[in-house]
Structure 1
Amino acid sequence: MSIQKYTRTPSWRHTALAAALSLNFADAAMAQSNASGAIFGRVTEPGSHVKIQNLDTGFSRDISVEADGRYRAGSLPVGRYKVTLQKNGNAIESRDNVQVNVGSGTDVSFTVATAGQAKNLESIHVTGTVLPAIDVSAVDSRTVLTSEQLQKLPLARNVTAAALLAPGVISGDSRYGNVASFGGSSASENQYYINGYAVTNALTGLGFTSLPYDAIDQQQIYTGGYGAEYGRSTGGVINVVTKRGGNRWKSGVGTYVIPQYLRDSPRSIYYTDGRLYQSRGDNKSSSTQYTGYVSGPLIKDKLFFYAAGDFTGTSGKTVEPITTPQQVSYDSKATKWLAKIDWNISDNHLIELTGLSDKTSVDSQVYKYDYAVGRATDYLGSDKTKNFDSGPGSAPGGDVYIGKYTGYLTDDLTVNALYGTSKTEHVRNLAYASDPNCPWILDARDGAGRPIVGCGLVNRTVLGKGAQDKTSGWRLDAEYKLGSHSLRAGLDTQTLQSTAGNEYEGGYRWIYKDAGEIRGRPDIVPPPDALYMVEKRLFKTGATVKVVQAAQFIEDHWQISDRWMAYLGLRNEQFKNLNGAGQVYVKQRHQLAPRLGVTWDVFGDSSFKLYANAGRYHLAVPSNVAIRGASASTYYSEYYAYNGVAANGEPLNLAPLGSRFYLNGEDGVTPDPRSVAAQNLKAYYQDEYILGFDKAINSNWSFGAKATVRKLKSSIDDFCDDRPFKKYADRNGIDISNARIAGCYLFNPGQSNEFLVDISGKGNYVPFKLTKDDFTTPNGVAFPDLKRKYYALNMYLEHQFDQRWYGRVDYTFSRSYGNSEGQLKSDIGQLDPSVTQDWDAPEIMQYTNGPLPNDRTHQLKAFGYFQATPEWLFGANLAVASGRPKNCIGLDPVDSIGYGASYFECNFKPSPRGSKGRLPWTWSVDMNAEYRPRWAGNEQPLAFTLGVFNLFSKKQVLSVIEVGENSALNPKTGLPSQNIDYLRPVAFQTPRYFQLGARYDFSL
């Protein structure tokens, strides 16, 4: 809290300061929508009322003070306010620059001393930001970053970079794009909102539609304990509120340049034996971003406009690995814009209209690359993409439109209504995406000398034509103040629709292997003198699928006394998944999620808070499950002997070995929706418990700690094993000789499950109630109980900005362990949320208990900024974390399910999860400087910025290949042969780079 100036005599300073610091816990302040905040407090002057006025838009509310002296104004648009205590039309006391943050309550109380003694005076006027060090109204765990902080801190200009400042938040696996993991959860378990509307990736849950960085007014990062209004997340919530226009016309332009010549070179990648895998010294890029905004009143105090845009061009080149030697030169154009209209119909009725767009197009030129001479050679073709260039987790692109109404019907009753839609089209023009003369080639032979390479592919697996995502949804909620209870209830629904599908680039792929026995495929018998053989795989999916999500919630912030508040919430979720034929294959109702919390204002002055909460959080089955699991798909394998290799890497003189094998039963036929998932499938849900405290040392310093425990109670994945059905049929005398058993079923791992099985192959479905024992294999291997536990202790020390400097330090000790990461499998970078290879059969889950991929035992984060002079500002950000656990995934001596190198076993011995040690610690320092020359004007509208990221250019390994063995046995020894890629790095820290910027803000 910072109080800059007081009128009247010094004797009044003590009184006013006491009023500002008392911050009595007078009312519940958390009952507001996810794009607004609240002001509340206590007044002891009888017959008075409180006037709240937005300093930028003129919007105001007059709030009556109740008989017990409390007042509250909820669902306020975030921003700066003036709060005035009035009586008989006269102002008694006022406070300027009261900041309302998203999802937060700001206490502005007026005490007996101040109000009573001011009767004979004109007024007391306090300017400055009244910002309590401790928000005693909150039971959740959140970090709120304002636009001012986002500008002053050294951050890459994106939402994820800001989210990583929050405790317990880490970067997800690089193979999922620029996404984060919250509290040990997989990176697909988060929810993202812009102005109250969910913009999460509709297909996989990985990533979100973004917006111009400078359009962010506040970014709220929930890391736990959030209320019943939030659902569909077992990780975290990122909630962005955008800027809006005010009564003053403002505009600004800027440019930010990341020059290639100021980038440090990334590390080249080598096999563990020292041989080069990928030369990356020249894998650099440069980018230039142009920004601009304009805002102001279309009608003063009534109608406001805000618009902003980011236009970014990036160019560079990438040399691919030696196994697919090629060079890709690329140019990308990213366009983001946002426009917002705010209409204050009256002080009691507000309407907001938001439109935003996030689109990226990339033009690439592909060349062969000669590693012997270190340069590109023959031109291969071009690759043009739109809205899916940035990796699987980026969910790039899309147009989003949101409309919201807020009605302050009475002092006690507020209504909010919202409707939104979005659409993202994914377009590709790849010259050889389906060219059979350019198949995908993979050489998995052991010690065969120079590897066999193909014609040079870009993405291996590509999206089919017509790929797009669409969402639509609405929400309605009302809050009502009833005595000591702040009640809120609401309902919402959202429909997510995706048209998606994948196929191998080139139509199919060839995998060269050592000749030998293939576990689970006795029909594969190579010629006796053959050293090698080749596998041909074809993979093709495509469908339009939907997820319909609905929820209702009710919550009560109950002010038990001045010092105690209880939060009581209940959320009821419904999920419905539809396949490509429009048929429902999973339906979940009455998923009840209680949320309970309590806070204790220990001294009654908001200087020391103890709080605790417990809650349950549900997550829907993502849409992508239906693409393969519930819709028609084709995936088969064929083996051949061969003699010779063509110039494009394709084998010659083929001789079939064995028969065609449909993997996972994917034979191109749409499965009956009754045969896709277990009956009465339980939702994916997690329980969470938090206990913590916050303590103000003085008006600037505060510290605190909290303990968090999370436990995944129910998961959804698929299993692909028909033995449990045979076991059940034998025990119950059911003839299944003609049964149609699906290749894979969705189920709740580690539990009993009931399935419908077509025992005649003609639609005669019979329930199979499989117990945990039925899943046990003939040799006694059983599924373990589901286990994912996360516990953490976080401690922090924070210094509020006092016109000079701001700083915060967080240390988190945490453990994330169990036998399932959740919806993803970062061990192998598998991008199939809820249908990973985990749980496909009991054997694959042996030895899987241990530290999970998102476990970082130690994390230290420190960030802040220093206003050295009115012209110079400096910022810094330190991030330190212990390394990720390492594994060795290999062959099982029996491999009765034919999964090859997919077990936590190596050299035919157990290799438990996390038993191979850890990757090294990582640390980085980011710094920035801003210069605002006075000669540019009194308001210093011109700013020059310099940012350096990863100052010391640390390049530690972030992830490695964890598959330690090849799928085929060594024909000479009969033992597994080591995978040459084992422990080969997948990703390093981003090397040092600089960002130069200039910005000019002006009034029109």
Structure 2
Amino acid sequence: MSLRSVVVVALLLWFPVGALAQSPTTGAIQGVVTDSKSGDALAGVTVIITASGVSTQSQITDSRGAYKIANLPPGRYLVTFYYLDSTIERSDIIVGIQKVTPVYLKMGADGGGKGEVVRIEGHAPTIDPTSTAQGITIDKDYLKNIPVPGRTFESALGAAPGSQGDVLGVAFSGSTSLENQYIVDGVNTTGLTFGTVGSPVINDFIEEIEIITGGYNAEFGRATGGIVNVVTKSGSNELKGSIFGYMQPGFLTAPAVETPSNSSSIDVVGDVGYRADLGFEIGGPIKKDKLWFYVGFAPAFTRIDYTRTTKTQTDCRRTLEDGTRSDCDTRLVTQGGFADGTADIDPDTGFFITDDVDSEVRATTLRTYNTLAKLNYALNPQQQGQLAVSYVPGSSRRPGLFGPASYGRKSSGANTDVSLKWTSKFNNDRTEVEATLGLHRDSFTLEAIDDTLQGTPQQILIGGELGTYGRGFGESQATQAGCTDGMTGGDRFPFITNCPMDSSAYIIGGPGSVYQDLEQRRTGRISVTQRVKAAGTHEFKAGIDSEDNRSTNTRALSGDAFLYNQVNLAVDVLRWVQIAGTEDGRERFDQMCTTANPDAEVGGMLQFKCDFLGNLGAEGTGVVSNTFNWSAYVRDSWQIRPNITVNAGMRYEEQRLRYAGFLQGQVDPVTGETFGKNALVLKNEWAPRLGILYDWTKEGRSKVYAHWGRFYESIPLAINNLTFGQPIIYSQTYTPTLCGEVDPAIGAPNGFGCSTTATEPDQGTQLSGVNGSLVAPGLKGQYIDEIVAGAEYEFFDDFKLGLSIQDRRYGRVIEDVSVDGANTYIVANPGDFPKDEEAKLQRRIDAMEAGADRDLLEKQLEMFRGIRIFDKPRRDYTAMQITMSRRFKNKLYTQASYTFSRTRGNYPGLISYDDNVILPNASTQYDLIELLANRIGPLPQDRPHYVKLDGYYTHDKGKIGAFTVGARFRALSGIPQNALGSHYLYGDSQSFLLPRGTIGRSSFEHGLDLHVGYARPLKRQMKFEVFFDIYNVYDNQGTFNVDDSYANGVRQSQPNGGGGSLQNANPVSGGTYDDLLWVKTVNDDGGETNVPIGRNPNFRKTIGRYGPAYGRIGARLTF
């Protein structure tokens, strides 16, 4: 940050002028008071704002008749105007988070009224004439009366126009769900490793949710998606609260529509057994007008019932001449039947036909305990503080599903958030300073259900058959009888293997990966807001904040190893290791590891000293990752006139991504260089923001606006662990006979013998991850640029229409790339290597003597130049939104939106939807140059049409009670479909055989949810309510995902089809569907063969559906 910028911030901190902006957890009320006859401004009007549990605030209108009162918690307020003998009240004024509510007034300049109080009915306008931010605000009435499909706040985020769900959450405005920032009570609670929702606050504890999908000011950053700002409830001068309970029983869930798949010998389907939570929340005064409390507690319980079905393939059918399937006849073909020694195939799907053998239900249970405690303190109206603590411990138990039930896992963890905020106003409210300290902490532990297995390696059995495994590991008698081949009198299909385990694994032993992880973010923020009169009114706000993000990730395996047993073919023993040079003298590096030299020109084997990392808690198993972020901003909201506002701001951000703690100060055994502290430092992330607004009604009932801004990504910690944490796995491959004698339970040698043998592996060894990653010189931060423009108008009280456009585009992306066939990875800006950085490195090389060091730098420079051959990442989002909202007092509420949008490019963002790889900034999308072919087109987020309609109506019959009906309707376009193939190095769904999106689009989807409630008043302001929510009312289980794999990595086994062979394929650049007939397979060396690829029989068919209809019942007692 420049000296000039520091001076500007310092001046803003100390210059004593009025402070009137709202904080991230509060809002404001502003307006203009004019003479009802002449229209002239009225100066000297006293404006007082009151509400229960909020200190009274007041202000006197200035020479323009203007006033603004800020730092108001969300809620309903009474605004009273005093002028001479006149007193006028405006009640039921709603204030939202980060919103300015306009309250304009016309009154007599003569002060007539003789002490009478005039009460004006009707709500204030719902348009914020000072903000260009797009999005919506969700209050507690919405959460109570709309059938929100979940119990925590993230389930309500889909109400925002321009939002859509993805595999990890809710995405906004063409971005992925990992690009959002989540703020709870002023503290950043975003998940540290990936950027998911970090603190899922239960809806009953929430006062209001602000969702900003674009156009936000300089106060907000570290997000290229949306900002979700949650404010929890607080105590007031009235003691009030509720007791509540919700229940989703399994019998209120409709049967799921079956999605055809190629059945394995074990199929597992999960259904909700029940979801239930009950709790209470209460708040009130400890000392009225001084100190208030709020407490909530709500345990939640879930059981998922997994129906586990064992199946046998059949050999008794054939396809008839008309293409239909015959009945089952188990006699041989030579005897007049249909058995031919080949498993039957369904001609419609290409899948194996199976018969059920046995079925059982295994249940997973989950428990969480939602806890919130909050204190609010007002020393006086100018000095106020808040302390909020949220603690959500939880646990789960999941049985083994593809093996014995006792080989399952149990987990536990806790989510903790602490926020401490203090707001001070000085110099007759001329200066306002807000300081916030925060802690976000998330712990997670995973281990074996059976403690005796905690030290046992997990073993994955691939191949073999279930009959043998069933006898060895205690499958049911029915499974043993139906799956055992050659059983006298019991084998219905004696000419085939009844229950092969080729397409799914059988899992035995310990839990495998064990975890004792911890994420923790410490934050501090201070801001100052001041007001200056100069050519209108300037409202300056400046602030600085810092984050220390730290995680401890576990690298440990039960029994110190993981076994991949390809029955009777090979056994792979995998271990987490740390490596050192052969001259390293540390005692724990007591093993030797060998691997092929990734430099094919040099060839040969590399050798390192190794430490085989032990079980949980052993040295080296806890890897500490750390990133330090800080930012500063300044923003001026300039009201040239009360109805013309210009918002101009600048934000500066820095990120310091550090090497894992165990690497810092150590010598890299590959390059010989010493690891420093910082692996990557991103500076000069300047993010300007500029917006302008005009209210043509001059009453806060309209606005026309435009905004331009730049927004930088905050890189999640996953890249620290993966790229800068040297996660190395050592693989040793054995011929099974080296593991010992045949184990009758497996029908082959048990891989466990190879995990303890001193015999050298005879099929090779490999270190994965040893080569690490380079950081390209001149690397710069990832950002998007955005333009929004629109208009809103309140046609009459509480009825608002809006029209807006939004354009978002990537300006730069950070990804790892490889220019040498995935041997070396470079963290870079794909497509960009600065010329000045190239020249610097070249001058450094020119100054060096000939030798190994110079050769290494020359090789690196050549790789850096190769970054330019990659296509620059593109993600272009363009949208038009039409919005409507209507509120009639507390009885009727509706909000609706229609979004037309297109999202095109070659890079979806931090989630690689095409192959479901979730590695932000380190995905496979830019690892190989050949993977970029055909990627430009409609991205997975491209859903052109999206209609949303929410509403509720309450019919109050007084003592009889109140009836409420709420509804939630969604309709949206389907997802783009592609034709994907397997890559010889990277596996399934990596090659775009045809240009993105040319295959078509899945069907248009829609759904309706309903809420019905009845509330009856009781004594002493108590009310009892019962309600019933129905989700997916007409049970439309539409397509959530389709199978885009045209050619799987393993050819589908079928009669005369060459089943089981590997197949990879290269893209057909610019090709059409007809060209797929001519695509040939690629061998393991990347060479094209003359063998045509085989079409996946499930291509373009549904593989994931939206959930079935279900019901939820509940009750609430409020007081």
Shorter-chain TM-score above 0.5: yes
Alignment partner, residue 943 of structure 1: 1025
> Structure 1's 787 and 637: CA in aligned 2 closer, same or farther, altered over 3 A?
farther
Equivalences for 1:649-728 in 2 at 5 Å? 659-665=764-770, 676-722=774-820
Alignment partner, residue 544 of structure 1: 624
Equivalences for 1:383-422 in 2 at 5 Å? 383-387=409-413, 397-409=414-426, 410-422=428-440
Equivalences for 1:422-437 in 2 at 5 Å? 422-431=440-449
Is 1:77 aligned to residue 60 of structure 2?
Answer: no
> Structure 1's 593 and 75: CA in aligned 2 closer, same or farther, altered over 3 A?
same
Instruction: Give the superposition deviation at 1:282.
Output: 6.1
Q: Which runs of 5+ in 2 are unaligned?
A: 1-17, 35-40, 313-358, 466-495, 571-595, 599-611, 615-619, 665-676, 755-759, 1051-1061, 1064-1080, 1084-1088
8 A Cα contact 1:54 1:80, kept in partner: no
- Counterpart of 1:154, as a letter, is P
> Structure 1's 66 and 789: CA in aligned 2 closer, same or farther, altered over 3 A?
same
- Counterpart of 1:569, as a letter, is G
Is 1:100 aligned to residue 86 of structure 2?
Answer: no
Alignment partner, residue 319 of structure 2: none
SS at match of 1:422: strand
> Structure 1's 649 and 263: CA in aligned 2 closer, same or farther, altered over 3 A?
farther
> Structure 1's 277 and 588: CA in aligned 2 closer, same or farther, altered over 3 A?
farther
- Counterpart of 2:1108, as a letter, is P
Measured in 2, the distance between the counterparts of 1:117 and 1:279 equals: 83
The C-alpha deviation readout for 1:813-852, integer Å capped at 9, x for no partner, is 1111211111121212112111111101211111111121
- Higher gyration radius (CA): 2
| TM-score, reference length from structure 2 | 0.74
Instruction: Give the superposition deviation at 1:568.
Output: 0.4
Instruction: Give the superposition deviation at 1:466.
Output: 2.7
SS at match of 1:150: helix
The C-alpha deviation readout for 1:758-800, integer Å capped at 9, x for no partner, is 9977799748556886347xxxxx4112111111111122222
Measured in 1, the distance between the counterparts of 2:311 and 2:769 equals: 28
Is 1:841 aligned to residue 931 of structure 2?
Answer: no
- Counterpart of 1:991, as a letter, is P
Instruction: Give the superposition deviation at 1:134.
Output: 2.6
Is 1:917 aligned to residue 1021 of structure 2?
Answer: no
**Equivalent in 150, 164, 169 of residue 170 of structure 1:** 164
Is 1:242 aligned to residue 232 of structure 2?
Answer: yes
Instruction: Give the superposition deviation at 1:419.
Output: 0.3
Instruction: Give the superposition deviation at 1:911.
Output: 1.8
8 A Cα contact 1:84 1:91, kept in partner: no
> Structure 1's 153 and 496: CA in aligned 2 closer, same or farther, altered over 3 A?
same
Alignment partner, residue 952 of structure 1: 1034
> Structure 1's 443 and 593: CA in aligned 2 closer, same or farther, altered over 3 A?
farther
Is 1:109 aligned to residue 88 of structure 2?
Answer: no
Equivalences for 1:81-160 in 2 at 5 Å? 81-87=77-83, 92-111=87-106, 114-126=107-119, 130-155=123-148, 156-160=150-154
Measured in 1, the distance between the counterparts of 2:129 and 2:730 equals: 59
Is 1:570 aligned to residue 650 of structure 2?
Answer: yes
Instruction: Give the superposition deviation at 1:923.
Output: 1.3
> Structure 1's 994 and 642: CA in aligned 2 closer, same or farther, altered over 3 A?
same
- Counterpart of 1:317, as a letter, is D
**Equivalent in 966, 991, 999 of residue 1116 of structure 2:** 999
Is 1:306 aligned to residue 306 of structure 2?
Answer: no
Worse-superposed segment, 474-483 or 651-660: 651-660
Instruction: Give the superposition deviation at 1:444.
Output: 13
Alignment partner, residue 862 of structure 1: 949
> Structure 1's 70 and 469: CA in aligned 2 closer, same or farther, altered over 3 A?
same
Alignment partner, residue 256 of structure 1: 246
8 A Cα contact 1:200 1:206, kept in partner: yes
Worse-superposed segment, 867-876 or 193-202: 867-876
Measured in 1, the distance between the counterparts of 2:853 and 2:879 equals: 53
Alignment partner, residue 744 of structure 1: 825
- Counterpart of 1:456, as a letter, is I
> Structure 1's 513 and 546: CA in aligned 2 closer, same or farther, altered over 3 A?
same
> Structure 1's 404 and 115: CA in aligned 2 closer, same or farther, altered over 3 A?
farther
- Counterpart of 1:137, as a letter, is T
> Structure 1's 943 and 142: CA in aligned 2 closer, same or farther, altered over 3 A?
same
Measured in 2, the distance between the counterparts of 1:760 and 1:61 equals: 75
Instruction: Give the superposition deviation at 1:238.
Output: 0.6
The C-alpha deviation readout for 1:271-317, integer Å capped at 9, x for no partner, is 2xx65788566622202211201111100111000111221111232
Equivalences for 1:795-806 in 2 at 5 Å? 795-806=882-893
- Counterpart of 1:438, as a letter, is Q
Worse-superposed segment, 448-457 or 707-716: 448-457
Alignment partner, residue 732 of structure 1: none
Alignment partner, residue 1048 of structure 2: 965
Equivalences for 1:546-695 in 2 at 5 Å? 546-581=626-661, 583-635=677-729, 647=745, 659-665=764-770, 676-695=774-793
Instruction: Give the superposition deviation at 1:985.
Output: 4.9
> Structure 1's 789 and 461: CA in aligned 2 closer, same or farther, altered over 3 A?
farther
Measured in 2, the distance between the counterparts of 1:359 and 1:838 equals: 37
Instruction: Give the superposition deviation at 1:649.
Output: 8.6
Measured in 2, the distance between the counterparts of 1:94 and 1:993 equals: 47
> Structure 1's 296 and 938: CA in aligned 2 closer, same or farther, altered over 3 A?
closer
Measured in 2, the distance between the counterparts of 1:306 and 1:763 equals: 66
8 A Cα contact 1:454 1:649, kept in partner: no
Instruction: Give the superposition deviation at 1:81.
Output: 2.1
Measured in 2, the distance between the counterparts of 1:127 and 1:605 equals: 16
- Counterpart of 2:415, as a letter, is G
The C-alpha deviation readout for 1:907-957, integer Å capped at 9, x for no partner, is xxx3222233223322111100110124x3474611111111111122122
Instruction: Give the superposition deviation at 1:487.
Output: 0.8
SS at match of 1:686: strand
> Structure 1's 444 and 914: CA in aligned 2 closer, same or farther, altered over 3 A?
farther
The C-alpha deviation readout for 1:712-743, integer Å capped at 9, x for no partner, is 1111111234379xxxxxxxxxxxxxxxxx83
Is 1:330 aligned to residue 364 of structure 2?
Answer: yes
Instruction: Give the superposition deviation at 1:414.
Output: 1.3
Instruction: Give the superposition deviation at 1:221.
Output: 0.4
Number of aligned positions between the proteins: 893
The C-alpha deviation readout for 1:585-644, integer Å capped at 9, x for no partner, is 011112000111111112333333211111000012211111121112113556667689
Q: Which runs of 5+ in 1 are unaligned?
A: 1-27, 370-377, 388-396, 524-536, 725-741, 777-781
**Equivalent in 989, 992, 1014 of residue 931 of structure 1:** 1014
> Structure 1's 108 and 659: CA in aligned 2 closer, same or farther, altered over 3 A?
same
Alignment partner, residue 879 of structure 1: 970
Measured in 1, the distance between the counterparts of 2:949 and 2:748 equals: 54
**Equivalent in 355, 361, 374 of residue 389 of structure 2:** 355
Alignment partner, residue 494 of structure 1: 547
SS at match of 1:585: strand
- Counterpart of 2:1035, as a letter, is S
Instruction: Give the superposition deviation at 1:509.
Output: 5.1
Equivalences for 1:762-777 in 2 at 5 Å? 766=857, 768-769=860-861, 774-775=866-867
Measured in 1, the distance between the counterparts of 2:885 and 2:543 equals: 35
Measured in 2, the distance between the counterparts of 1:834 and 1:322 equals: 41
| TM-score, reference length from structure 1 | 0.82
Measured in 1, the distance between the counterparts of 2:775 and 2:743 equals: 43
- Counterpart of 1:162, as a letter, is A
**Equivalent in 21, 24, 32 of residue 22 of structure 2:** 32
Measured in 2, the distance between the counterparts of 1:65 and 1:509 equals: 76
Instruction: Give the superposition deviation at 1:572.
Output: 0.4
> Structure 1's 920 and 829: CA in aligned 2 closer, same or farther, altered over 3 A?
same
- Counterpart of 2:94, as a letter, is Q
Instruction: Give the superposition deviation at 1:874.
Output: 0.3
8 A Cα contact 1:212 1:308, kept in partner: no
Measured in 2, the distance between the counterparts of 1:444 and 1:859 equals: 48
Measured in 2, the distance between the counterparts of 1:514 and 1:904 equals: 32
